[in-house]
Amino acid sequence: MKRLSCCFTRRILKHISGRSPLQSSGGNMENPPKANADNNVFQSENLEENVRTTRSSSAVNIIHNSDFSEGIHSWHPNCCEAFVVSSDSSCIETKSPKLGSRYAVITNRKESWQGLEQDITSRVSTGSTFMVSARVGVSGAVQGYADVLATLKLEYRNKDTSYLFIGRRSVSKECWENLEGTFSLSNMPDRVIFYLEGPSPGVDLLIESVMVSCSSSSLCDSQSKGSPFFEEDNIISNSNFDDGLNGWFGRGCKAVLHDSMADGKIVPQSGKFFASATERTQSWNGIQQEITGKVNRKLAYEVDAVVRIYGNNVTNADVQATLWVQAADMREQYIGIAKVKATDKDWAQMQGKFLLNGSPSKVVIYLEGPPPGTDILLNGLVVKHAAKLPPSPPPVIEGVDFGVNIISNSNLNDGTNGWFPLGNCTLSIGTGSPHIIPPMARDSLGAQQPLSGRYILVTKRTQTWMGPAQMITDKVKLYVAYQVSGWIRIAPGPTTPQSVNVALGVDDQWVNGGQVEIGDDRWHEIGGSFRIEKQPAKVMVYVQGPASGIDFMVGGLQIFPVDRQARFRSLRRQTDKIRKRDVILKLSGSDSGSLLGTLIRVKQTQNSFPFGSCLMRTNMDNEDFVDFFVKNFNWAVFGNELKWYWTESQQGNFNYKDADELLNLCTSHNILVRGHCIFWEVESAVQQWIRNLNKSDLMTAVQNRLTGLLTRYKGKFQHYDVNNEMMHGSFYQDRLGKDIRPNMFKTANQLDPSALLFVNDYHVEDGCDTRSYPEKYIEHILDLQEHAAPVGGIGIQGHIDSPVGPIVCSALNKLGVLGLPIWFTELDVSSNNEHIRADDLEVMLREAFAHPSVDGVMLWGFWELFMSRENSHLVNAEGDLNEAGRRYLGLKEEWMSHAHGHIDGQGQFSFRGFQGSYQLEIVSTKGKITKTFVVDKGEEPLVISINL
């Protein structure tokens, strides 16, 4: 029997994730060189023939990630475990001489029906015959041959689940075989799951590739939802160019229809025709179609296109799908909705989503991006209402030993055993490193045994990436936040500061585990964090970074999972100390003497702590967005509308209308606003006309910007980020001299003395960027103050991945010494699993709320498709609250105080509550009396007299 249905929704989540491995979050460290793999070494002749046949008939493989080039993405192990390995992996026993470059291993199988599955519901339809060709093998305790089966699981809402046999293949341990079969559906189930199964329990199933395609290309083109050209509900007219170029036009260029190009080397991937945008003279030129009246406001649409490029000796370029929207008041908006790196070698699929807040008078979708002179080729375009995805289930995380180091031989008692040199460098053991655990790790681990004092000395380095390394593949658990800690020292000699990095090689991705900049020969703490959300084939940790030829030392390196719940318990106690206050309500008046024992209710109506969000002018047109915003935030910041490139994109042409309308919205709801930003020091954020100015004209433009903005809005913005990201850019300083920065602060203060003036930068709090770590940020602020800049606040943006509380708290403690208010000004966290995203958000909000130096938190948005980072939203595109949103609202509710009881003999009622506004109800036989009061900040008990 294979009807253990709970497994299809439960255990599979332990091992896989839809998100790619973590990307670099800062720095420019090099990656170690990788051996080249021949991706075609192990392609069988039969499979090649199948591929040629299906390509020639324009068939489309409906299986996502069919060759496991993206790991296990889109696949799910059914009650077992799965991972992807490369051909040179030694973890699989196989004698096959035809081993492919990457393949999936399905292991820990307890039943014969356990295997690897993929949901193909949206890619199949009735009335079509689908061909299946899978390249499979077996490994482990195989006696002779083992059967591998291809099966469909068909789920129905109102009747029993059924199973459809597709094909079977007997496979020996020595070689790979092709499993082939066909299937068709007479009726459409609610869910269709394709999976491979069959070998006996304990036998590992190996899968190199899977192809499922229609036997009739014309039928599939029109019916199969697996094809990107499925026409049902497609709002694009003539999406496959079957009617020539009807409905299509060139945008500043010429549109041409083709059945082939380049002497027949370029043919359609699907259908009979494709179109090109040619004679392009600007990057924004492309092919377009008007879709006015076909899209509805507040609905999410998904975009699916197949594109490539041709000509002008350009081999690859970004192709982007853009929406041009014109409102009834003629205001224009450009929305980037999808992007892909296209090549001149093959067709590429481009996908994205968009949502319109308002009711436009005109909407046009078009392709753009490659350099002028390069043609954009389009094989088909689908735009349809996006299906709602089911909520992310919480990942199953078991057997985590919090605080236990996963580095082998960390104390080096066994010499360099467990370590190896990455590259041609030399490792040896020395003594004299610190015995104490680095402070950030000590905050996580508590009392621990002292470190050994031994360190790894790395010498004879000829590349920056060379250093000590260790494999930790089998020790890292998915979805777990790991903290990195260690001591680093560089040998005497360098004349410039050196950056050192603890890095992780996760398959072919570089993950930042922490960085430190060292300018002397003392021991320095290095700390960071990481999380892996997609099953890797290989994880290596290594230390790298100083210039070639520079020796360095590593002592006490630890990587351990952090216990967030234990940290939260500590933060709750700290929060009670700094955000709450004892309150004594003292009632007086003619009736106060008769109130002994009378019921009293105290309800907090608003916490005074600032919780705000970014919003944009287009969000105002969506009443659902506005309703959530005004109910759940008391501060705001504008995403773009106050930036110089928005208010004066062309010299002398000013646009303050958007900012005015946003400000009026906030003012009408008593929401306070931060001004972001007056200037932006990073050159790429400076509009071209400013870059073209000479020194004198630039100085004049800067003064005009200050005068125009701060005079217009005097007294209306509580804060200003004066010169954004000075730790990461120097455009104005390079051109106008070092004095320009403090002078910007001085002038702004003169023009609007009521506004607090902030510095604002990113990666201050996470240990992953040597340009903006706390000590360097402090030096920067002190330098501004020494030049009389009236710095009034410290902005930490908070674009963070896998946050670890003690690392964040350490940065806050260091910055708090300056005595300035600290704000998280642009907080967002990202994970495709909304439960993990909620956990990350809770870490940041609790750390901020429990720290005495933090005076406010601003989220950098909350609504899907209107945030700068994907998978960071609290509310889905069409208004559904996800787990991250529920966690945010839950914390806000936790930080509201309510109390009830009876008035004592002294006419008093006491409670301890959060700072903010309250409503008091006194219920007696004579009726109900309602009063309001405010609990402000203070350490002594607050006595409030209530006159009845």
> Which active-site residues does the annotation give?
826
Q: Output the CA angle 798-801-802, nearest 5 degrees.
A: 120
Cα distance between residue 381 and residue 349, in whole Å: 10
Q: Which two tokens stand for residue 488?
A: 């680093």
Cα distance between residue 632 and residue 623, in whole Å: 14
Q: Using alpha carbons, select from 711, 632, 630, 634 the residue that is nearest to residue 678.
A: 711
Please give the helix or strand (H or E) that residue 740 lies within, else none.
helix 740-751
Beta bridge partners of 249: 288
Q: Give whole-number Cα distances, 514 to 69, 403, 531, 570, 801, in Å.
A: 28, 18, 13, 25, 12
Is the separation of the CB atoms in 195 and 210 below 8 Å?
no
Q: 671-708: buried (b, 16+ CB within 10 Å) or exposed (e) per residue? A: bbbbbbbbbbbeeebbbeebeeeeeeebbebbeebbeb
Cα distance between residue 254 and residue 289, in whole Å: 13
Is the separation of the CB atoms in 663 and 637 below 8 Å?
no
If DSSP states are collapsed to H, E and C, what string results for 844-866?
A: HHHHHHCCCCEEEEEECCCECCC
Beta bridge partners of 304: 351, 382
Question: Does residue 768 have a cis peptide bond before it, meaning omega lies within 30 degrees of 0?
Answer: no
The conformation of residue 881, written as its DSSP 8-state character, comes to: B
- Helix, strand, coil tally for the chain in percent (to 5): 20, 35, 45
Q: Classify strands 927-935 and 580-588 as parallel, antiparallel or unpaired.
A: unpaired
The conformation of residue 261, written as its DSSP 8-state character, comes to: B
- State the burial class of residue 472 (Cβ atoms within 10 Å of its Cβ: 0-12, 13-18, 19+): middle
Q: Which residues contact 692 (CB under 8 A, 6 or more apart)?
A: none
Q: Which two tokens stand for residue 800?
A: 């963070």
Cα distance between residue 232 and residue 213, in whole Å: 19
Q: Which two tokens stand for residue 110?
A: 């307890």
End-to-end alpha carbon distance in the chain: 75
The conformation of residue 594, written as its DSSP 8-state character, comes to: G
Neighbouring C-alpha atoms within 13 Å toward the C-beta of 351? 6
Q: Using alpha carbons, select from 659, 657, 631 the residue that is nearest to residue 643.
A: 659
Q: Give whole-number Cα distances, 475 to 178, 336, 541, in Å.
A: 34, 40, 12
Q: Which two tokens stand for residue 567?
A: 């940290």
Q: 191-211: buried (b, 16+ CB within 10 Å) or exposed (e) per residue? A: ebbbbbbbbeeebbbbbbbbb
Q: Which residues contact 339 (CB under 8 A, 6 or more apart)?
A: 318, 319, 320, 321, 350, 352, 369
Cα distance between residue 850 and residue 575, in whole Å: 4
Enumerate the H helices of 456-563 as residue ranges.
Answer: none
Cα distance between residue 717 and residue 662, in whole Å: 12
Q: Which two tokens stand for residue 418?
A: 């467990």
